[in-house]
Each structure stands twice: as structure tokens, then as C-alpha cells.
């Protein structure tokens, strides 16, 4: 934890992860400057924070320079689901790369620490399993997902170059599949897709035979890991994997959600998208050793909270918020 109150900038603060991070930082007594252009963030995610005396909201796109006075930066700004980051791939790359340059420039001017929310996508379709931070990845540089994968890889390069060249205090977290309340129902990720489909009785779409695996980390665990990483000594830079190492097939996830919701939904198979990773599992040895961190919430407990969130959301906003191709 920080020893004293800090004014902390959270880019992407209106998004899924950013809103949870902002809420935790406020609970620790810090001031939060939340920056978001609301391309994928939602105002309802931070509605309960708007009247908080230590919370400030600024609508801004990180691809443009930002001139503020803060004590630390969490750089979370970037669409993180395939549907959204492929909608405008050029802007996605600019958000990762130009956004990183702008936030690093701000951190350099202020001489403050900055944390980058990188991703397990930097490993691509891995040939090493589970993935350690030393693994360089197996990424297609010209595919449909490359705007995100390579954008995040380039951002990591920039962070470490600023660290080496300008002695900037950096932290890089490689985030694995995360889920929980405040996810968008239309973000195209499997947890939100399956839950929304199950709640309204739609067929649950599995790509391929559903044998590909993922490791799902509940959002509160992930946010705890980010804050622990930010508060490590300067010599700890990362990258550090933050995710739940318990591995599940996509089909098992679908079956679990059907059972937990009591849904009549059927599982239907569709062709695999291009460059879809077959396996994804973090090696979290470094996180345990350097951060004293390990996930505390297992899948069924996390799904229970997430199902309740989407059940309320669908009752408030209606079935129409679920895309036809979810």
C-alpha cells in the first residue's frame, strides 16, 4: 500500500478493470483521476463514484497528450475484447502504442511510477505451456488480432526502453483472462457471452469443439495483483503474469454456466476464429514470490457474482443489449 494519500491517474478508468481499480484505490484513501473516452468504458461502471470527494472524471483519448499533476499512473486504456479491438484496429494499435508514449512522457516529466496493463495475448498461440514471463511468444504480426497483440508487445518495448534510457520507474503486468461484474454484455468474451446467452435461453456458441483452454481470474483478485505490483520496490519492473492458473476447457465453462443458471440453452459449435489460442495458462511463480499474490476466488464463486450482475443488468436494460452473434 502507499504510505500516504496519492493522486493516482487511471486511464481506461470507466472500463471493466479501471472501474474496479478506481474503487479500490478510493477505499484506500487515495485520490483518483479517472480518464476514459468511453469507447468501451461505461458511465454506469463509475456512477456510484461520481459524488465521491476524491474522485474526478476526465473524458479524454490517450492518443492525445495529457497534462495533469499526479503521483502515479495505471495505464489501462485499450479495448480488450476481440469484437471491440477489431472494430477499429488502427485506433487499437494507436491506443496501445501512442497512448503508451503519451503516458510514459507524462510519467517522465513528473518522475512518477507507471504501471502498464499488458496481456497474455503477447504470448500469442503459445508453444510453451504454461506460459512463463521468459517466453517470447508465438504471435502472428499481420492477423486479425495483431492490432491488439502487437500493440501490447510494442507498448512493453516502450516501457522498458523508457526504463533503460530515462531511468523511469515502470511496472508491467501481463493480465490473463479476467471476468466479473462491470463486464460489457456485448464484449464478445466467453464468460459474458455464455452467461448472457444462458440467462435468456439462447444457444451457447462454442468455437471448434470447445477443447481449447483458458484460465479465468476473478476481477478482485486481478486488481489486488495490480496494486501489489505497483507498490513493489523500483527494482521490480515485471513483466509479471497475473491470472488464475486453474485451466478449464471452453466447453466445461459453458456446461458449468448452464448448470449454475438452470438454463435450457444448448451448446452449438461454430468454426474457430483465426489465430484463436489453443491453450492459455499462466505460470504465476513470480507473482507468488515477488508480490505475495495468488488468486483467492475460484471459478464457481466468481461466476456466482458475475451471473448475479448480468441477471440484474438484463432485467434493467433488456435482452436487446445482447448482440445477435454473441
Catalytic residues: 148
Q: Which cell is 97 given?
A: 502504442
**CA–CA gap between residue 172 and residue 175 (Å, rounded):** 9
Q: Computed over its alpha carbons, how large is the radius of gyration of the chain?
A: 19
**CA–CA gap between residue 271 and residue 281 (Å, rounded):** 23
Q: Which residues, at least 6 apart from 144, have a Cβ–Cβ distance to it below 8 Å?
A: 86, 89, 273, 274, 275
Cβ contact 302:179 at 8 Å: yes
| Burial letters 133-169, b for 16+ CB under 10 A, else e | bebebebeeeebbbbbbbbbbbbbebbbebbeeeebb
**CA–CA gap between residue 9 and residue 17 (Å, rounded):** 14
Q: Which cell is 171 given?
A: 511496472
DSSP 297-317: --HHHHHHHHHHHHHHHHHHH
Residue 225's H or E segment, with its range, is helix 219-230
Cβ contact 238:114 at 8 Å: no
Which position has the grid cell 448472457? 196
Amino acid at each position: 500500500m502507499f504510505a500516504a494519500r496519492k493522486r493516482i491517474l487511471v486511464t481506461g478508468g470507466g472500463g471493466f478493470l479501471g472501474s474496479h481499480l478506481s474503487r479500490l484505490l478510493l477505499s484506500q484513501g487515495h485520490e483518483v483521476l479517472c480518464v476514459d473516452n468511453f469507447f468501451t468504458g461505461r458511465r454506469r461502471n463509475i456512477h456510484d463514484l461520481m459524488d465521491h470527494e476524491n474522485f474526478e472524471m476526465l473524458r479524454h483519448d490517450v492518443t492525445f497528450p495529457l497534462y495533469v499533476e499526479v503521483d502515479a499512473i495505471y495505464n489501462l486504456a485499450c479495448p480488450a475484447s476481440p469484437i471491440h479491438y477489431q472494430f477499429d484496429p488502427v485506433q487499437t494499435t494507436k491506443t496501445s502504442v501512442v497512448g503508451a508514449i503519451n503516458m510514459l512522457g507524462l510519467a517522465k516529466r513528473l518522475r512518477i511510477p507507471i504501471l502498464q496493463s499488458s496481456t497474455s495475448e503477447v504470448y500469442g498461440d503459445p508453444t510453451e505451456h504454461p506460459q512463463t514471463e521468459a517466453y517470447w511468444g508465438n504471435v502472428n504480426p499481420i492477423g486479425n488480432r495483431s492490432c491488439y497483440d502487437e500493440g501490447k508487445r510494442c507498448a512493453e518495448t516502450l516501457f522498458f526502453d523508457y526504463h533503460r534510457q530515462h531511468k523511469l520507474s515502470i511496472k508491467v503486468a501481463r493480465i490473463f483472462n479476467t471476468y466479473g461484474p462491470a463486464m460489457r454484455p456485448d464484449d464478445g468474451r466467453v464468460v459474458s457471452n455464455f452467461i448472457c446467452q444462458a440467462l435468456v435461453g439462447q444457444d451457447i456458441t462454442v468455437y471448434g469443439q470447445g477443447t481449447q483452454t483458458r484460465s479465468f481470474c476473478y476481477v478482485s483478485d486481478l486488481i489486488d495483483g495490480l496494486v501489489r505490483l505497483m507498490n513493489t520496490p523500483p527494482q521490480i519492473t515485471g513483466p509479471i503474469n497475473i491470472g488464475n492458473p486453474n485451466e478449464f476447457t471452453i466447453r466445461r465453462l459453458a456446461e458449468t454456466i448452464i448448470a449454475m443458471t438452470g438454463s435450457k440453452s444448448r451448446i452449438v459449435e461454430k468454426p474457430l476464429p483465426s489465430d484463436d489460442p489453443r491453450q492459455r495458462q499462466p505460470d504465476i511463480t513470480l507473482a507468488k514470490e515477488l508480490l505475495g499474490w495468488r488468486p483467492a476466488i475460484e471459478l464457481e464463486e466468481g461466476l456466482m457474482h458475475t451471473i448475479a450482475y448480468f441477471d440484474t443488468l438484463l432485467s434493467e436494460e433488456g435482452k436487446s443489449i445482447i448482440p445477435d452473434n454473441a
